């Protein structure tokens, strides 16, 4: 039978300990609701004794969030355990998580205590916590660097005192997978009463091995994993929830375990945690990064477009993305390019696709990503024949330092002449407003650029603009030795594209 792994989420406790991350009580509650939607089995909501704010966060989560176990952290100290117990009082399924370091390094330098004192404190901590809740978890902090024989003794004693879960932390992310898996196996083999408790693991990511260590532990008998959304946590963070869950799901052939996670909620949860903690997700982060399902190289794009599984091991929709992303850039190929044009509604013959593709490659060399708006301009410039519905016949501008810029523009359309006058912020603006009056559209300039195409005093100036007309953004170009005339021609070029479409 496929064994179910308990997902213990500590985003709101260890995750919030990430340097730079801080959450309000309201933000924590919002995340806790979403963690419940995600289907985690336990939420470690905070460290109640650490601050009144943390106490209150744990309390409101315990009161409002139904479904998962709600857990609060405590050192093996009465005041910590009391704070945890009080804050968890409204919870339907409270758990107190007590911890005490067991490695020589921590005992000698941090706690200044001997082995027997540690065992006594651990047992007293668990016993005292049981006054407040039935469900007690105990963590021998820095377990992966603890002396094995001592660790077995501690684990045995806390189970005897009533701990139902023993969590084995790789506190400083020092372990490597084989070693950590072996540690879990040896705890199972050397602690006589281990069958009375669930073995949990809590792996930090200092060597980037948090997820690998957690999976090795699961393979060796761990029944619970502690993890965080987006892998946030102390220093380099904790094992990431989404990576563990998806590894178990995608590699069922190698890892015959399941979780109760609603995988379609993963991306939404990741976004919420990122937004509320202010911790950005790196683009190449597995499962939830913006590039996790994005393809840039022509070979990959061609493969994915032919058959998704060539380059994707899971469906983006299964973790809540809307789909794969084909990024058009300098490595992209003709297949992806022409598919995108089709999706944008352009029906081009092969010759035109080739023409547009050649220009696309030039643009892509200069830009990181070529967006749909850029493609529209490429197609308009290279392929579409713009009918000259409105033609410039004449214009006159008056402008100066102390007069309001005014323009009169004469256009012809189907052999009829139309004339309008307008003032504006400058001579070009006045011309554009006069044109708007004639054509009955209102354009607003989104971008304006000018460059000289030839050299010398009579250099030809080329004006390139982008105009917003209704919901469309259209490009226009015009050239002349007179920059106002070039500007008018660029505007008319854009207007004619719209007028052509209207016609």
- The residue ranges that bind ligand KIV (CB under 6 A) are 14, 99, 139, 141, 167, 169, 171, 202, 204
Nearest distance from C-beta of residue 343 to ligand KIV, angstroms:
47
DSSP 281: P
Interface pattern 187-226 for Zn ion (x via CB under 5 A): ----------------------------------------
Nearest distance from C-beta of residue 47 to ligand KIV, angstroms:
8
Residue 32 contacts residue 12 (beta carbons within 8 Å)? yes
- Give the residue nearest to Zn ion (CB): 14
Choice between 101 and 434, CB closer to ligand KIV: 101
Where would I find the H helices in 318-395? 334-343, 350-366, 372-382
Choice between 107 and 392, CB closer to Zn ion: 107
The interface partner of residue 277, options being ligand KIV, Zn ion, none and the CB cut-off 5 to 8 Å by kind, is none
Nearest distance from C-beta of residue 50 to ligand KIV, angstroms:
12
Angle at 64 between CA 61 and CA 69, to 5 degrees: 60
**Does the protein bind Zn ion through residue 44 (CB under 5 A)?**
no
Q: With contacts defined by CB under 5 A, how many residues of the chain interact with Zn ion?
A: 1
Nearest distance from C-beta of residue 272 to ligand KIV, angstroms:
22
- What's the CA gap between 191 and 82, in Å, rounded? 29
The interface partner of residue 141, options being Zn ion, ligand KIV, none and the CB cut-off 5 to 8 Å by kind, is ligand KIV
Choice between 50 and 317, CB closer to Zn ion: 50
- What's the CA gap between 228 and 435, in Å, rounded? 59
Contact stretch for Zn ion (CB under 5 A) within 9-17, 213-221, 389-397, 415-423: 9-17
The interface partner of residue 139, options being ligand KIV, Zn ion, none and the CB cut-off 5 to 8 Å by kind, is ligand KIV
Choice between 99 and 390, CB closer to ligand KIV: 99
Choice between 143 and 474, CB closer to Zn ion: 143
Where would I find the H helices in 140-176? 148-161
Choice between 8 and 293, CB closer to Zn ion: 8
Beta bridge partners of 478: 463
Query: What is the number of alpha carbons within 13 Å of residue 18 lying toward its C-beta?
Result: 28
Query: What is the number of alpha carbons within 13 Å of residue 93 lying toward its C-beta?
Result: 10
Tokens of 127: 């016993």
- What's the CA gap between 440 and 438, in Å, rounded? 6
- What's the CA gap between 465 and 450, in Å, rounded? 9
Nearest distance from C-beta of residue 170 to Zn ion, angstroms:
9
Nearest distance from C-beta of residue 171 to Zn ion, angstroms:
6
User: Is residue 495 classed as helix, strand or coil in its secondary structure?
Assistant: helix
Which residues from 92-121 bind Zn ion, rule CB under 5 A?
none
Nearest distance from C-beta of residue 381 to ligand KIV, angstroms:
58
The interface partner of residue 75, options being Zn ion, ligand KIV, none and the CB cut-off 5 to 8 Å by kind, is none
The interface partner of residue 99, options being Zn ion, ligand KIV, none and the CB cut-off 5 to 8 Å by kind, is ligand KIV
Phi, psi angles (nearest 5°) of residue 199: -90, 130
Nearest distance from C-beta of residue 33 to ligand KIV, angstroms:
24
Tokens of 80: 């910590």
Instruction: Map tokens 């696709």 to a residue.
Output: 353
Choice between 14 and 242, CB closer to Zn ion: 14
In sequence order, what are the residues at sequence separation of 6 or more whose Cβ sits closer than 8 angstroms to the Cβ of residue 411?
390, 391, 392, 393, 417, 418, 419, 435, 438, 439, 492
**Does the protein bind Zn ion through residue 14 (CB under 5 A)?**
yes
Choice between 3 and 235, CB closer to Zn ion: 235
Nearest distance from C-beta of residue 201 to Zn ion, angstroms:
11
Choice between 43 and 438, CB closer to Zn ion: 43
Nearest distance from C-beta of residue 260 to Zn ion, angstroms:
23
Count of residues making up the chain: 503
- What's the CA gap between 491 and 386, in Å, rounded? 13
In sequence order, what are the residues at sequence separation of 6 or more whose Cβ sits closer than 8 angstroms to the Cβ of residue 296?
327, 329, 331, 332
- CA-CA-CA-CA torsion for 4, 153, 228, 92, nearest 10 degrees? 70
**Does the protein bind Zn ion through residue 16 (CB under 5 A)?**
no
Contact stretch for Zn ion (CB under 5 A) within 6-14, 52-60, 89-97, 182-190: 6-14
CB atoms within 10 A of CB 27: 18
Contact stretch for Zn ion (CB under 5 A) within 11-19, 292-300, 419-427, 489-497: 11-19
The β-bridge relationship of strands 443-452 and 461-469 is antiparallel
Site residues (vs Zn ion, CB under 5 A) = 14
């Amino acid at each position: 039978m496929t064994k179910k792994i308990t997902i213990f989420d500590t985003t709101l406790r260890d995750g919030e300990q990430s340097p730079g991350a801080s959450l309000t009580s309201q933000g924590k509650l919002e995340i806790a609701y979403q963690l419940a939607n995600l289907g985690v089995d336990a939420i470690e909501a905070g460290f109640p004794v650490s601050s009144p704010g943390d106490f209150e966060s744990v309390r409101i989560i315990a009161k409002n969030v139904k479904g998962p176990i709600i857990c609060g952290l405590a050192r093996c100290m009465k005041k910590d355990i009391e704070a945890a117990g009080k804050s968890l009082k409204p919870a339907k399924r409270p758990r107190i998580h007590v911890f005490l370091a067991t490695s020589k390094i921590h005992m000698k330098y941090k706690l200044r205590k001997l082995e027997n004192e540690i065992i006594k404190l651990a047992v007293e901590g668990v016993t005292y916590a049981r006054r407040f809740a039935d469900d007690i978890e105990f963590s021998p902090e820095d377990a992966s660097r603890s002396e094995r024989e001592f660790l077995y003794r501690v684990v045995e004693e806390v189970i005897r005192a009533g701990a139902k879960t023993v969590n084995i932390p790789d506190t400083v992310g020092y372990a490597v997978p084989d070693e950590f898996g072996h540690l879990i196996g040896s705890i199972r083999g050397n602690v006589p009463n281990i069958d009375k408790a669930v073995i949990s693991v809590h792996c930090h990511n200092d060597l980037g091995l948090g997820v690998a260590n957690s999976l090795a532990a699961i393979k060796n008998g761990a029944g619970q994993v502690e993890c965080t959304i987006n892998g946030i946590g102390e220093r380099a963070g904790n094992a990431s929830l989404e990576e563990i869950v998806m590894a178990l799901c995608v590699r069922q052939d190698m890892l015959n375990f399941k979780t109760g996670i609603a995988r379609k909620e993963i991306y939404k949860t990741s976004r919420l945690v990122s937004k509320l903690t202010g911790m950005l997700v790196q683009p190449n982060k597995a499962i939830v990064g913006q590039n996790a399902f994005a393809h840039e190289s022509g070979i990959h794009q061609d493969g994915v477009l032919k058959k998704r599984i060539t380059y994707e091991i899971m469906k983006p929709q299964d973790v809540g993305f809307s789909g794969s992303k084909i990024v058009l850039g300098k490595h992209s190929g003709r297949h992806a390019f022409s598919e995108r044009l089709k999706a944008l509604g352009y029906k081009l013959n092969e010759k035109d696709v080739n023409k547009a593709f050649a220009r696309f490659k030039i643009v892509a060399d200069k830009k990181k990503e070529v967006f749909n708006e850029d493609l529209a301009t490429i197609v308009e410039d290279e392929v579409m024949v713009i009918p000259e519905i409105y033609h410039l016949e004449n214009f006159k501008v008056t402008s100066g330092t102390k007069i309001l810029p005014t323009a009169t523009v004469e256009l012809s359309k189907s052999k009829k002449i139309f004339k309008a006058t307008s003032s504006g912020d400058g001579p070009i603006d006045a011309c554009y407003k006069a044109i708007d009056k004639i054509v009955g559209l209102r354009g607003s300039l989104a971008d304006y650029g000018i460059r000289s195409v030839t050299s010398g005093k009579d250099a030809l100036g080329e004006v390139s603009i982008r105009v917003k007309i209704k919901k469309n953004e259209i490009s226009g170009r015009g050239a002349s030795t007179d920059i106002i005339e070039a500007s008018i021609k660029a505007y008319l070029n854009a207007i004619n594209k719209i007028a052509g479409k209207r016609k």
